[in-house]
Structure 1
Amino acid sequence: MDLRLKGKNVLVTGGSKGIGKGIAGAFLREGANVAVVARGLEALETAQTEMPELRIFQADITDETARDDVFKKIEADLGKIDVLVNNAGGSSGGSVMDTSLAQFEEAMQLNYHSAVHFSKLAAEKMEANGSGSIINISSIFGRESGGKPTYNNAKAAMISFTKAFADEMIKKGVRVNGVAPGSILHPTGNWQKKLDENPEKIHQFVQEEIPAGRFGTVEEVADVVTFLASERARWVVGATLNVDGGQSRANF
């Protein structure tokens, strides 16, 4: 299927490794121009070595001023932005009582506020062009319990934001959607660390919790993201699609 993404300008946050890197690579293979922003310069440079066409930008996107500054730089380099993928995220803390308020605030800045801010910045330009696609990477745990509360809270907020912003922006030609991955295995992720530490426990988890009987891959997430970004998904608005091999327990 031709997704008609050749020549499109794409920005992926948290795009130096893991799912974000996989998404960036998928868009490059479709012939798009791709910029990624992340905190770690070494990981960014490694990604660019593997994908020479990739444009890399370093910034701490938990900081509002840094987000403003890097967006301007990316826009100056790419020109108009056709697709924004808000992928940056991470989890920290433990149980609610063992997690400081500062950690909750940091999680919201990284997982949620960065996505809202970049969405507003990109949407302003997309509206002027009469078209655009914004895709927010959340999690199945944004819909149900599981994982760390700081992460779950932020991803739940992202799913809610996705629907609200989608209804607002579709009138202006801009589609907003989301993807909610389940457990995805990649070299720099938490699941790989857990697998290395206790293979027997993790294999048992997979068999009990993932109906498909295996972890997902970054490519499987990236395939859904590129589809949603394309005109092939032009009637998909405000949806957050599970990509989880059946792992989610939610009915809706």
Structure 2
Amino acid sequence: MNVVITGGGRGFGRTLARRFAEQGATVVVTARTLAAAQRTRDLLPDAHALQCDLTDPASVRRCAEQTAELLGHVDVLVNNGAGFLAESQADDDAIVRTILSGAAGTVLMTEHFLPLLRRSGRADVVTVVSLEAESRSDPAHIAHAAFHAAKAGQGRYAEIMSQRLRPEGIRMISLYPPDFEDGDGRDGVLTARSVADCVLFAVNQPRDCFIRSFHFEPLPVS
């Protein structure tokens, strides 16, 4: 299995890269800086690191071209990379970067990697959205409204493309988790490992099983 993961330089992207590598996949880790991608690559067997700035169309195109040279085809594309923006951090430039990296970045990655996915007999596109894209999101969440908007854009794009690509056998799978953390979990808090295992579960289903989305319950308020 050839897997490309955006935002793989740290956090959930790194966890997901590790889980795919443990399953024997060849992983291409991408990050906004090559150094960040290389740090994850160095932890994995037979992995590759590429620079990919999701806010820059030329960078996304170059990443797709380099992946084609490395692998020839892609079985799983994971749209994980997306900038987070808190209310306290918001200025005009930060708002634009957030919208571009989350919504436009997902569109650009999917569009430019579709030729490589179409060379696979088992292509999946996984998009890590967020509970914050849904109407039941927490209005008191620290995220700026631009982050909510970017995530909603990701989710809507994935829904439309799921319908359009299904006749080709390409599955679009979206995840809508609440906030989650690394580690072993505490008091029912969702962990990165659990979310990663949901991704692995979905992409390993038989090809006639189209799971469009995973909608997680938020942690109950005590």
TM bucket, shorter chain: 0.7 to 0.9
Correspondence list, 1:2-41, <5 A: 8-41=1-34
Aligned to 2:64: 71
Structure 2: gaps (5+ residues): none
Match of 2:205 among 231, 236, 246: 231
Matching of residue 132 in structure 1 with residue 130 in structure 2: no
Q: Deviations over 1:173-220 (max 9, x none)?
A: 100011122121138xxxxxxxxxxxxxxxxxx9xxxxx834222111
Greater mean deviation of Cα atoms: 107-116 or 51-60? 51-60
Q: What is the CA–CA distance in structure 1 between the aligned matches of 2:73 and 2:209, rounded to whole Å?
A: 23
Amino acid at match of 2:214: L
Amino acid at match of 1:170: R
Q: What is the CA–CA distance in structure 1 between the aligned matches of 2:57 and 2:220, rounded to whole Å?
A: 33
1:93 Cα deviation after fit: 4.6
Aligned to 1:202: none
Q: Deviations over 1:17-46 (max 9, x none)?
A: 111111111111111111011023333232
Runs of 4 or more above 6 Å deviation:
none
Correspondence list, 1:106-121, <5 A: 106-121=97-112
The TM-score normalised by the length of structure 2 is 0.86
1:103 Cα deviation after fit: 2.7
Aligned to 1:92: 85
Aligned to 1:242: 215
Correspondence list, 1:202-221, <5 A: 213-221=187-195
Aligned to 2:196: 222
Assess, with a 3 A threshold, how the Cα gap between structure 1 residues 243 and 31 changes in structure 2: closer, same or farther. farther
Aligned to 1:59: 52
Assess, with a 3 A threshold, how the Cα gap between structure 1 residues 127 and 86 changes in structure 2: closer, same or farther. same
Other structure's SS at 2:42 match = helix
Structure 1: gaps (5+ residues): 1-7, 188-205, 207-211
Q: What is the CA–CA distance in structure 1 between the aligned matches of 2:39 and 2:94, rounded to whole Å?
A: 29
Q: Which of 1 and 2 has greater Rg? A: 1
Contact 2:188 2:219 (C-alpha < 8 Å) held by counterparts: no
Work out the number of aligned pairs and report it. 215
Q: What is the CA–CA distance in structure 2 between the aligned matches of 1:119 and 1:166, rounded to whole Å?
A: 12
Other structure's SS at 1:178 match = strand
Q: What is the CA–CA distance in structure 1 between the aligned matches of 2:34 and 2:114, rounded to whole Å?
A: 27
CA RMSD of the aligned region, Å? 2.4
The TM-score normalised by the length of structure 1 is 0.77
Correspondence list, 1:128-207, <5 A: 129=120, 131-143=122-134, 144=137, 145=139, 146=141, 147-186=143-182
What percentage of residue pairs aligned between the two structures are identical?
A: 22
Other structure's SS at 2:29 match = strand
Q: What is the CA–CA distance in structure 2 between the aligned matches of 1:158 and 1:170, rounded to whole Å?
A: 18
Q: What is the CA–CA distance in structure 2 between the aligned matches of 1:22 and 1:34, rounded to whole Å?
A: 12
Q: What is the CA–CA distance in structure 1 between the aligned matches of 2:36 and 2:149, rounded to whole Å?
A: 27
